[in-house]
Structure formats: C-alpha cells, structure tokens
Structure 1
C-alpha cells in the first residue's frame, strides 16, 4: 500500500510505555502493535506485564497473548505478523504504534534484520540436547566464543535466545549478529517516528521493585503455577524474567523474599541491557516516562511535517 507513517515507542522494562502508548493512541487515532517478545504469550498476562483489560479497552491492541507457551517466536517470523498488523491499521486510516522493549523485534520489523533461512529440525534438536547436557553457563560461553556481540546482549539463562543464536550459526555458518547487520531488502518503506522513554538505572530500580510487588499481588505466582500443570518450566514462554524465579519458589528452592530479590536483580540486569541496546539505535527522540505532553508535541510536529 506504499509508504505510510508509523510510530515506534521503545524503552526498558518499567518505563511506562503502556500509558504513553494509550496517550498517543487517543491523540492521533492510533492502534498499538506489541513489540515485546514475552507479551506474545498466552496465559501469563500478569507475569509478562501485558496491558490490562482496561488498558486494552482504551484503544485497539494487537499481537498480545496469542501464542502458546511452548512455541518459540523468531524475530523474523514475528516481523511478518507485526508488519501485516501495521498495514491493516494504516488501511483503516489509523496510526500504527509499535510499542515494546525487544530491540531485536524492532530491528526486524523495520528492516534491520535479514530473513534467516529455516533451521533444520535435526540442528535444533542437537543444540537443545547440548543445552540439557552442558547447561546455561557452558552454552552461553560457547555462544560468546562464536558470536561475542550477540552473547553480550543476552543473559546466560535465556535458553530461547542462546539456543536460537547457536542453531542459526550452526545451520548457516554465519553468526547471528551478522544477519542483524545485513538488513532486509524487502522491508516496508515506513515513515518512522522513533520515540524512547528513559530513566537512569537508579531512578528505574524503585519502579521495578514496586512493579514486581504489584505483579505478585495481582497473581503472577498463580499464573506460573497453573502453567506448570501443562508445561515444563523451560518452555519458551516461561523462561523470561520472573518465570524461572517463581518456578524455583514453587519448587521450594527459594522463599518468597529470595524470589523477590532474584526477580528484581535479574530485571535490573535486563533493563541495563535494554538501555545499552536502545541507546545505540539511531534517530530516537528521548523523553521522561511521564512527560506525555512533550511526547505528543513531538509526534504532532512530525505528523505536521516539521520534524521531530
């Protein structure tokens, strides 16, 4: 359908992207498209901090909570779905708002990630067997030797991302980060407004602590307990931060206080990695999380053709 305008709203976990997205949607007739690799999963809306029912009712939201917990989601495949959602939104005369904290998904959607050939099933099985045999530390070290750039961006315990990078390298003979740098020649020609929400890590940590407390109060532990009735603890949808910590609590490995502390520590480390990634992205205009007035003014200027 040719070039159309999209807004990308990015930022680390806990920086208030949902509230800002709703404000943007209300002001500019927008619809939100998820760009968070954990919020795609069904059955764990509290654990993954998906928008609440009230927030989703404020404007249309797309690609949240529609993927089974045992299905891994590759960035390139997700980009196809997100681009289709954006085209449908623009076709209705509304503004697509890509919102989330997964830098790799943003890069894939906007064309910064080359389409990666399908990985043969036997290669995937070999890498998963190695993970079970060697464990997270050894597999992350293996990735660090093969692809230090990508290994530095992900946690050793992130099975989905570590094994994905290793299986791609094994199947294609090229590092995962090489595919990132190549770019996608078939990417849509969007007119992109890039916005970011930012806080210092010292300012963010108390917000993250409060957020974890509210997630526990809202039923995150019960979500994981119910999920573990159907799935093993290492399915893709439960390996994001919060899932392993709660699973350890339910197994009696940690008490609730230790669970909170581990969850906050791991969330802090993840937020730091997100900040590092997003600060390297070009053309992002940065705003304080609650400064919706400045955010809306920047988009209004850009839509009016005056530049952000």
Structure 2
C-alpha cells in the first residue's frame, strides 16, 4: 500500500514559504500545518511572523499560535500533534502542506523520533543549576566542542535546547547529533514532496531587516509588552525565540530599542544561516527562489498526478 502524500515547504525564515503554500492551495484542496517551533506561541503572532488574517482565509491553517509562553514544545510533542492534524486534513479530502523552518521537527516526523532514554532527575537538576549559575552560553560553549554540528543549529541563548543537549550527553554519553542521525528510526510514514525556498544569505539579509522593521511598525513591541504582563518569567520557553528575547531585553532595561533591533537583525541572519546549513544537508529537496509560487504549485500538481 502506498504511503499517504504530504507536501513539505521548508527553508530559512523570510523566504515566502506561506505564500507558496497558498499558491498550492489555490490549485487544489489543501490545508497548511505549521512546523516552526516559534510560531506555535500564542502571545507572539507578529514577532514570529505567523500567517495573517488574509493568509488564513485562503485555506485552513493548523498548529499556529496555540501554546502559552510558559510551555515548551518538543520534537516528540510536535510529531504527535502533526500526525493528528495530518490525518484530520486527509479525512477532509485535503492535501496536508507542512510549512516551516524547524528542520528537526520535520526530520522527526519523516524519519521517526530518536528513542532518547528518560533523563534521571538528578542529572536534569544538575544541568538546570548550571544554567542558573552560568547561563546557557556556557553549556553552548561546551556543546561546540562535543557536538559542533548540533551547536551550529541552536542559539547560545536558547536555554531549553542547550540544557537538553547537556543532559542527554551526561545521561547517555551520546550527542544529540548521534541520537538524531545514527540511532535506529522508524520508517517515514508519509510520501513527502520536499520543496525548499531559499535565497543567498547576502540577498536575504536586507529583506529580513526590512521585515523586522515592519513587525515593529505593526506593534511588535506592544505585543511583547502585553506578553510580559501575562508571563514575566524571562526563562519561559516562549521568550527564547529570536525577536522575543531581544524585545524582552529592552523591556527589562538591558538594551535600548535601537540595540534590541540591531541584535534582532543580527540573530535572525545567524538563524537563517543555520537553517540553510541544515536544509542543504537534506536530500531530495526541490529548490525555488522566493516568489516562484506558480512553479511550486505546478510541481505539486504534477507530482500528485504521477502518484495517481
């Protein structure tokens, strides 16, 4: 029996993945399912560039803006939620289109979750105590030595993921890269057409800076201020996202607004570079430039026709 088809639109931030998905939905019944780890947060629709009202009106959208700032999202939880949404979309006679830039989430969905053992509580507490005393940057520096490939994919200020990598290494003696690539995974449950949107980093950078300015004009700072009133814990998972962390620095008096904006642009560029590095290692991706939406839709329609 053939595996059910899904389309995966991937690539670095700011490359027009949502508009490409909507172009596909204009040609056949389809629904968009998010696989971006930041766009799950309810309090940050502007800062995380979640689809706006017009984009959502074009076709159904799922797994956007549902998680409180204080809750964390993991790859395992994402897979559980995504599988549920994929089956619901298929039950409606629609094509599931997964859209996002969190490569680990997509890989976990397509190849299975690495069976990382439960971490003993004493090791978890030891790592959390280190984070509190030294900051996640110290753990990231160690990670750069023990697991440089994984370190390149996460930000030094990402408390959750740096702590997770440290506790897994302490508990198992294996790196996150080993668990994600060398351990045995379940076979892919879907027949996936992977479509990538990318642009040279030097060409993408000014577009990212302009998008950040638009986010600020549309009320990104007010959004962060309201979120801080609801969740003033600076260590909450939702605050670790790029844009959120920099504006939090301004709200807490550590940065001027100009400094926060400059840091936001710099960190977004670095994140886009990490995304490009990750996806360039993936196989079977059909690459397009931003705006080539008709060609993306043509490929999707032809691929489905070939499958019968």
Q: Does 2:68 match 1:60? A: no
SS, match of residue 160 in structure 2: helix
Matches within 5 A, 1:63-78: 63-78=63-78
Q: Does 2:116 match 1:116? A: yes
Matches within 5 A, 1:38-53: 38-53=38-53
CA distance in 1, matches of 2:185, 2:282: 19
In structure 2, the partner of 1:276 is 277
Bigger shift: residues 271-280 or 257-266:
257-266
What stretches of structure 1 of length at least 5 have no aligned partner? none
SS, match of residue 31 in structure 2: strand
CA distance in 2, matches of 1:116, 1:40: 24
CA distance in 2, matches of 1:183, 1:29: 37
Matches within 5 A, 1:256-295: 256-295=257-296
What stretches of structure 2 of length at least 5 have no aligned partner? none
Matches within 5 A, 1:1-308: 3-182=3-182, 185-229=185-229, 230-305=231-306
CA distance in 2, matches of 1:45, 1:117: 34
How many residue pairs are counted as aligned between the two chains? Answer: 307
**How far apart are residue 91 of structure 1 and its match?**
2.0
SS, match of residue 193 in structure 1: strand
CA offsets 1:119-168 (integer angstroms, 9 cap, x no match): 34443332121111112331112222332221122221111211111122
Q: Which runs of 4+ in 1 moved over 6 A?
A: none
Q: Is the contact between residue 146 and residue 175 of structure 1 (CA under 8 Å) also seen in structure 2?
A: yes
SS, match of residue 27 in structure 1: coil
TM-score, normalised via structure 1 length:
0.94
Distance change >3 Å, CA 54–CA 112, structure 1 → 2: same
**How far apart are residue 24 of structure 1 and its match?**
1.2
**How far apart are residue 97 of structure 1 and its match?**
0.5
TM-score, normalised via structure 2 length:
0.94
SS, match of residue 6 in structure 1: strand
Q: Is the contact between residue 9 and residue 195 of structure 1 (CA under 8 Å) also seen in structure 2?
A: yes
Bigger shift: residues 94-103 or 244-253:
244-253
CA offsets 1:20-77 (integer angstroms, 9 cap, x no match): 1111122121111100000111111111111112211211111111111111211122
Distance change >3 Å, CA 65–CA 119, structure 1 → 2: farther
Bigger shift: residues 275-284 or 188-197:
188-197
**How far apart are residue 241 of structure 1 and its match?**
0.6
What RMSD over aligned residues (CA atoms) do the two structures have, in Å?
Answer: 1.9
Q: Is the contact between residue 9 and residue 194 of structure 1 (CA under 8 Å) also seen in structure 2?
A: yes
